[in-house]
A and B are shown apart, each in its own frame.
Chain A
């Protein structure tokens, strides 16, 4: 074992020497599921986070003119690589804050064995598992995406308000799908709704007709789909439409994807609605959309606005904490708690001036108002979207 440690030490000190050549001013870790199951989703998310850092750097930099350097790590969406990469970012790169990882399982493992013991604040843009709320994290774990609990529940209440009492639920068997479905089920049944079918499905199959036939046997006319619209969710929706298993369709935020309109055609989607987080101040979202489009990205891609917010918040919190990693978690709550002067995406100069003047600021994010609660969660505000023309349009806000 001693030999191994010696070998380890010599090997990475050699590589570390090389990586020290460029000394950045402020290093922030950017950990995402680059390889692995969400490989298609991760690059736009990382680009959005980089956009936030780029804006900070262009508008005078952080902590009195220093530049942010994002160090990208690959969590591969599993705890093994997530912990490995986070350990490197925290110990070797000495980052002062961590944006990511993307997948809930990685978030749990990284928080438990790296960032919390090391006293580094972590903010994830897409870890939606309810388990993250109950982490014993000394307040150092945040997220800009609401826990699946919130969305599932508000969707259930809205459906009941609209008079739909009987539905079938098809959900993707991962933390995202099952978390949403579970919360939906609890709230729906508690308030007098009836689930005529409730089944998980695995991703990547060619046909889900047997699953759908099974679900439709309960006699529900509405199918609720918790899945991704550019993946399995598209197949399910297509086959349900083709075979007429259900008349009405409702999706979670993952289903609000342009791929659905592109592939199935708006004329076939008159009975399809999707819930999705909405920013209460929509000009926040718009200014992000413009900036992200200008940078060559597609602002409708999933979790990009959450990613941007996570990165921008990390920069704000660092500025507020004066660069002290230990104070970042307190500062994170302070810069988005609903009190103080509003700051929107990209308004770095304004925010930095306000912080320098000792005034409170309140970041209004592209993905919503944010406003962290004690557990570092955001409540999220949702809207129901229907297809109009070739895009999604807000139909009504959820309560």
Chain B
């Protein structure tokens, strides 16, 4: 084994962890902070990936486009498109609670997948969109990957910072208030419908950006990528395992699950060759087992949501006043 090969693989894993981090952070806004059970991540992922791909590719006889816009425009477009798609969906579906919302969003994701597959004039149908430009794609293998990794890290940091700010702002506290006690929040005069819609659109836009980064990394996007297993449920596992309601937990969950998912293939490959095919299913089993164990022994995740701790100044003042009153 060569060192450069190891490095290439590590960089690749980091890129994928970065892309999945965006999806998990988007889900964290919706589920972690706002309690919206979105089981249609794949749909917003697809909208982002296709929008950015169509905006930036050269002309093709197979699909819409030929705009050849800069990649940055594609990425911003992906966020806007995913947000725009989320708006009517949120308008209709957010009246549902918990599992009903989950069923509705699964349905929406399937609709998006089938539209992508069937409306060939727009998306290239099953052929997908090819020749999507990758920033720094002309460099050699390692440098091209490193440059892309730098871009992904930068974007994840910006998104992370934006979400952290938003969550520690009054908006974030209100969202958690709505999540934990809707009646109390209504009684305080909060517009719950509008706030939930905001969180839903915010999360969807971040997911769309994740999709766009994925399409540009692979220089292509096909409907096969919108598989609910790998683009919805895997992200749920990451967030639950890492700790929903905690952005650092979300990032950690992504890293842990993806590394186990990817590196477990080396372990299963140690089985004798006659089990080579069966061994591949072991990975799916390992991930499922992991989720069961976490849910059983640590339902709040590896890094749980901080509950009224020292870094919450308001709580401190509140406790002080309480103490003074006594």
Residues 275-294 of B contacting A (Cβ, < 8 Å)? 276-277, 280-281, 283-284
B217 at the interface (CB under 8 A from A): yes
A85 to B8, CA, bound (A): 13
Contact call B225/A105, Cβ cutoff below 8 A: yes
Q: A4-B17, A108-B130, A136-B131 are in contact. Are A80 and B6 (CB under 8 A)?
A: no
B276 CB contacts on chain A under 8 angstroms? 46, 72
Say whether chain A's binding surface is mostly helix, strand, loop, or mixed.
Answer: helix
Q: Contacts A19-B266, A20-B1: A78 and B6 contacting too (C-beta < 8 A)?
A: no
A9 to B1, CA, bound (A): 14
With CB as the reference atom, state the residue of chain A lying closest to B13. A8
Given contacts A43-B277, A94-B5, A104-B222, contact A117 B128 (CB under 8 A): no
CB interface residues, A 145-178, toward B, < 8 Å: 173-178
Confirm or deny: B114 has a beta carbon within 8 angstroms of a beta carbon on chain A.
Answer: yes
Interface residues in B9-49 by Cβ distance below 8 A to A read 9-10, 12-14, 16-18
Q: Given the known A-B contacts A35-B281, A109-B220, are A84 and B16 also in contact in the complex, defined by CB atoms under 8 Å? A: yes
A79-B220 CB under 8 A given contacts A7-B255, A8-B14: yes
Q: Is A83 an interface residue when CB atoms closer than 8 A count as contact?
A: yes
Query: What's the minimum C-beta distance from A258 to chain B, rounded to whole angstroms?
Result: 22
Interface string of A168-196 (1 = CB under 8 A from B): 00000111111100100000000000000
Q: Are B220 and A9 within 8 A (Cβ)?
A: no
Count how many chain A residues have C-beta atoms less than 8 Å from C-beta atoms of the other chain. Answer: 66
List, in ascending order, chain B residues with CB within 8 A of A36's CB.
227
* Residues of B close to A136: CB separation below 8 A: 131
The interface residues of chain A lying within 8 Å CB-to-CB of B214 are: 80
Q: Is A58 an interface residue (CB 8 A)?
A: no
User: A175, B222: Cβ atoms under 8 Å?
Assistant: yes
Interface centre among B62, B127, B251, B255 (most CB of A within 10 A): B127
Q: Are B224 and A179 in contact (CB under 8 A)?
A: no
- Within the complex, the shortest CB–CB distance from A37 to chain B, in Å, comes to 8
B267 within 8 A of A: yes
B265 at the A interface (CB under 8 A):
yes
Q: A299–B5 Cα gap in the complex (Å)?
A: 37
Asked if B267 and A16 sit within 8 Å, CB to CB, the answer is no
Contact bitstring A1-25, B, C-beta under 8 A = 1, else 0? 1001101110111011011100000
Of A126-134, A269-277, A283-291, A372-380, the one contacting chain B is: A126-134
B14 and A1 within 8 A (CB): yes
| Contact, CB under 8 Å: A131 / B6 | no
What separation, in Å, do the CA atoms of A113 and B12 have in the docked complex? 10
Q: How far is the CB of A363 from chain B (nearest CB, A)?
A: 26
Contact of B218 among A72, A79, A94, A104 (CB under 8 A): A79
Q: Identify which of B120, B218, B221 gathers the most chain A CB atoms within 10 Å of its CB.
A: B218
Complex Cα gap A44–B287 (Å): 27
Contacts of A20 in B (CB 8 A): 1
Complex Cα distance, B120 from A152, in Å, reads 18
Which of A12, A78, A173 makes the CB contact (< 8 A) with B227? A78
Binary CB contact string for chain B from 193 to 224 against chain A (1 if under 8 A, 0 otherwise): 00000000000000000000010011111111
Bound form: Cα–Cα A113–B14 in Å: 14
Is B309's beta carbon under 8 Å from chain A? no
Residue contact A105 to B223, C-beta cutoff 8 Å: yes
Q: Which residue from chain B places its CB closest to the CB of A177 in the assembled complex?
A: B126
Residues 25-60 of chain A, each 1 if its beta carbon lies under 8 Å from chain B, else 0: 000000000111000001100100000000000000
Q: What's the Cα separation between A376 and B156 when bound, in Å?
A: 39
Main secondary structure of the interface of B (DSSP, over half): helix
Are B265 and A173 within 8 A (Cβ)? no
The 8 Å CB contact of A12, one of B9, B114, B117, B273, is: B9
Contact between A202 and B114, CB atoms less than 8 A apart: yes
- Return A73 CB to nearest CB of chain B, in Å: 7
Instruction: Determine which of B127, B223, B265 lies in contact with A74 in the assembled complex, contact meaning CB atoms within 8 Å.
Output: B265
For B260, give the chain A residue with the smallest CB separation.
A11
Other-chain contact of A85, B6, B156, B265 (Cβ < 8 Å): B265
Instruction: Establish whether residues A5 and B14, one from each chain, have CB atoms under 8 Å apart when the complex forms.
Output: yes
For residue B263, CB closer than 8 A to chain A, the reply is yes
Q: Is there contact, CB below 8 Å, between B127 and A88?
A: no
Residue in A72, A79, A92 whose beta carbon sits within 8 Å of that of B266 in the complex? A92
Contacts of B127 in A (CB 8 A): 104, 129-131, 175, 178-179
Kindly report which residue of chain B lies nearest to residue A30, judged by CB atoms: B276
A282 — which chain B residues lie within 8 A by C-beta? none
Cβ of A356: which chain B residues have Cβ within 8 Å of it? none
In the complex, chain A residues whose CB is within 8 Å of the CB of B262: 12, 84, 88
B153 on interface, CB distance cutoff 8 Å: yes
Residues of B within 8 A of A18 (CB): 266-267, 270
Q: Are A79 and B263 in contact (CB under 8 A)?
A: no
Binding site for A on B (CB under 8 A): 1-2, 4-6, 8-10, 12-14, 16-18, 62, 114, 117-118, 120, 125-128, 130-131, 134, 140-141, 144-145, 153, 156, 214, 217-225, 227, 230-231, 251, 255, 259, 261-263, 265-267, 269-270, 273, 276-277, 280-281, 283-284
Please list the 7 inter-chain residue pairs (A to B) with the smallest Cβ-Cβ separation, ordered nearest first.
A105-B222, A105-B224, A91-B5, A112-B219, A117-B141, A175-B126, A15-B266
A residues at B contact (CB < 8 Å): 1, 4-5, 7-9, 11-13, 15-16, 18-20, 34-36, 42-43, 46, 71-74, 76-81, 83-85, 87-88, 90-92, 94, 103-106, 108-109, 112-113, 117-119, 129-131, 134-136, 173-179, 182, 200, 202
Query: Can you report 5 residue pairs joining A to B where beta carbons are below 8 Å apart?
Result: A4-B14, A8-B13, A11-B263, A131-B130, A202-B114
Q: A79-B221, A174-B223, A178-B125 are in contact. List 18 more A-B contacts (CB 8 A).
A: A7-B255, A8-B10, A8-B14, A16-B6, A16-B266, A35-B280, A42-B277, A78-B224, A79-B218, A80-B225, A88-B266, A90-B5, A105-B224, A108-B128, A108-B130, A112-B219, A117-B144, A174-B126
